[in-house]
Amino acid sequence: MTGRPVLVVGEALVDLVQRVDGSVDEAPGGSPANVALTLGRLGRHPQLLTSLGDDDRGRIVRAWLEESGVRVTAASAGRTSTATAVLDASGAATYEFDLAWSVDARLAAPADVVHVGSIATVIEPGATEVARLVAERRETATISFDPNIRPALIDDAAAARARVEQLVGLADVVKVSDEDLHWLHPERSLEEGAAAWLAAGPALVVVTLGGAGAFALTASARIALPAPPTTVVDTVGAGDTFMGALLDGLLEADLIGADRRDALREMPAGVLERILRRSADAAAITVSRPGADPPTLAELDAAGATPEQRP
């Protein structure tokens, strides 16, 4: 499966996961990289436009992505970035970062969907270039955005919120966690925040609620779904997996590309519900095992099968 070309723009790094027992695992990660990885494992072969150091960690990250069908195009950095995830007893993570981020938009290949998010959209020197790329590509591509806010990295909250609002206004598809939406708009309820974003331009706004599931808004529908039952090992990469599977579902439904913008806005509620359920199934698989380890297409198909269809 390949279909329409996909471009993901943003950070790739190494996650240092500190568990409750004091052990530390080191593994590749980064929100946009995890989205690209999910798409690669689902057969989409995306390009990831990122920044990596010419070091052992950078080579590990590149190999991890390429093994799953991701084409990595990286600006050279002095070192490969790291994110230390400290897990609590429930498996939830808080993060500390050692970051080196820039992007060379000239290396971006043509694409029918461009996904951006997280650190790459709010941290300079790359953030301005990312916003410029999104504005340019909107004429030819579906724009997807997940803010994935990291407050520990943000010195100017007002500037970060303004940049997020700019990208929401350019996006066709927005996925945001409840925590991020509360941080961005503490004065609003989740419903109010999602509705305000929908009114700003996107065709689809999805709010993920962790263990409580997710809800989605379009101009004609509101759909809420519970999270599938699962045993949580940790939550690293769960939202990114949901995002990647959401894009995969929209690709499968032929709702991606600037020429399909009207069809995306008019997406039937039943189609959206199926895509959301599949995205939630993908995230449930990721949280059931350690680290950012999204499912393959075969694993996701098995998760969504009825009991009599499963092997």
Within a domain: 309: no
Within a domain: 310: no
Cis peptide before 125 (omega within 30 of 0): yes
Burial class (CB in 10 A: 0-12, 13-18, 19+), 174: buried
* Proportion of the chain in helix, strand, coil states, percent, rounded to 5: 40, 25, 35
Collapsing DSSP to helix, strand or coil, 305 comes out as coil
Collapsing DSSP to helix, strand or coil, 208 comes out as strand
Within a domain: 96: yes
Q: How far apart are CA 237 and CA 99, in angstroms?
A: 18
Whole-model pTM?
A: 0.93
Q: Which pLDDT tens digit goes with each residue over 195-246?
A: 999 999 999 999 999 999 999 999 999 999 999 999 998 888 999 999 999 9
Q: Which pLDDT tens digit goes with each residue over 130-169?
A: 999 999 999 999 999 999 998 888 889 999 999 999 999 9
Question: How high is the pLDDT of residue 306?
Answer: 41
pLDDT tens-place values along the chain, 311 residues long: 557 999 999 999 998 878 788 888 888 999 999 999 999 999 999 999 999 999 999 999 999 999 999 999 998 888 899 988 787 888 777 778 888 888 899 999 999 999 999 999 998 888 999 999 999 999 999 999 999 998 888 889 999 999 999 999 999 999 999 999 999 999 999 999 999 999 999 999 999 999 999 999 999 999 999 999 999 988 889 999 999 999 999 999 999 999 999 999 999 999 999 999 999 999 999 999 988 899 999 999 998 754 334 33
Strands (E), the chain: 6-9, 13-18, 24-29, 47-53, 71-77, 82-87, 93-98, 113-117, 142-146, 173-177, 204-208, 214-217, 222-225
Number of domains into which the chain is organized: 1
Those residues whose C-beta lies under 8 Å from the C-beta of residue 189, and which sit 6 or more positions away, are: none
* CATH number of the domain residue 290 falls in: 3.40.1190.20
Q: How far apart are CA 113 and CA 39, in angstroms?
A: 12
Within a domain: 1: no
Choose among 217, 147, 225, 215: nearest CA to 180. Answer: 147
Q: How far apart are CA 191 and CA 194, in angstroms?
A: 5
Question: How high is the pLDDT of residue 2?
Answer: 57
Contact predicate 294/34, CB 8 Å = yes
Contact predicate 181/258, CB 8 Å = no
Within a domain: 290: yes
**Structural domain harbouring 13:** 6-304
Side-chain half-sphere CA neighbours of 50 within 13 A: 34
Within a domain: 311: no
Choose among 32, 22, 50, 12: nearest CA to 247. Answer: 32
Contact predicate 136/108, CB 8 Å = no
Q: State the first-to-last Cα distance of the chain, in angstroms, to the nearest integer.
A: 22
Within a domain: 209: yes
